[in-house]
């Protein structure tokens, strides 16, 4: 973060009795409910948005379980003579390591295990601490974390695309064929729900000392 006045007093729209539009930035009197410039709903930065965050997060978690239990890819080589294999996400990683492809195994492991789990933890943490009084430095860190989660969320969909490309491409009849497994759907849903969860989170909450709690400084 660049220098500009870390602890200079900042007037927020909320404290000024206004409500800012999250879509176009225009400030409106608090009573307005719809931004008259861009037409999106005006929501004050309070903890109500957290309900949606937790709900989408729970949905994402639920679908992440079958995504790991069911096979992602079904491969058959030489008409099944060299074996039909069904690989789950983790199974695929282990298989790659058996063949010595540690690099690719690491990439897949990062993209389909570490990133989704990290996202669940990060969103849950952000939603838990949201609105608690924070120091300016802590708030900056939380905003960076939120931006990382928001940016990286869509990239988890890469696994679904890989499955789609592989199963469309590898259709060599007797020699080898790959079919998608049911885990692809639940993984895609899990990613979509987590994206919605991150989108429902209102980053302005990071900056607000929660008025419902006693506002004592932590440090």
Is residue 211 within 8 Å of residue 132, measured between CB atoms? no
For other proteins, the closer of residues 108 and 123 by Cβ is 108
Compute the least distance from the CB of residue 177 to other proteins, in Å.
Answer: 9
Closer residue to other proteins, CB minimum distance, 125 or 161: 161
Identify the CA nearest to 123 among candidates 38, 64, 43: 64
Shortest Cβ 11–other proteins spacing (Å):
5
Contact 74, 177 (CB under 8 A): no
Work out the widest C-alpha separation in the chain, in whole angstroms: 73
Q: In the bound complex, what is the minimum distance in angstroms from residue 152's beta carbon to other proteins? A: 11
Q: Whole-number minimum distance, CB 211 to other proteins, in Å?
A: 14
**Are the C-beta atoms of residues 129 and 142 closer than 8 Å to each other?**
yes
Residues 184, 72: contact at Cβ < 8 Å? yes
Cβ nearer to other proteins, comparing 36 with 213: 36
Instruction: Name the residue nearer to other proteins (CB basis): 54 or 179.
Output: 179
Token pair for residue 90? 């983790």
């Amino acid at each position: 973060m660049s220098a500009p006045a870390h602890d200079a007093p900042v007037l927020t729209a909320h404290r000024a009795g206004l409500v800012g539009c999250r879509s176009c930035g225009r400030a409106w009197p608090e009573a307005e409910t719809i931004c008259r410039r861009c037409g999106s709903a005006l929501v004050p930065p309070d903890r109500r948005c957290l309900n949606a965050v937790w709900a989408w997060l729970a949905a994402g978690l639920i679908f992440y379980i079958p995504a790991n239990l069911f096979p992602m890819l079904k491969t058959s080589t030489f008409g099944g003579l060299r074996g039909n294999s069904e690989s789950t996400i983790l199974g695929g990683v282990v298989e790659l390591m058996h063949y010595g492809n540690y690099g690719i195994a690491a990439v897949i492991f990062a993209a389909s295990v570490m990133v989704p789990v990290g996202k669940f933890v990060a969103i849950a943490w952000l939603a838990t601490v949201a609105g608690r009084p924070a120091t300016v430095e802590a708030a900056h860190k939380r905003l960076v974390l939120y931006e990382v989660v928001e940016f990286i969320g869509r990239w988890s969909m890469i696994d679904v695309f890989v499955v789609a490309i592989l199963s469309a491409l590898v259709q060599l009849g007797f020699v080898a064929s790959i079919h998608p497994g049911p885990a692809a759907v639940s993984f895609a849903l899990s990613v979509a729900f987590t994206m919605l969860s991150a989108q429902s989170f209102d980053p302005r909450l990071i900056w607000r000392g929660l008025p419902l709690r006693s506002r004592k400084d932590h440090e």
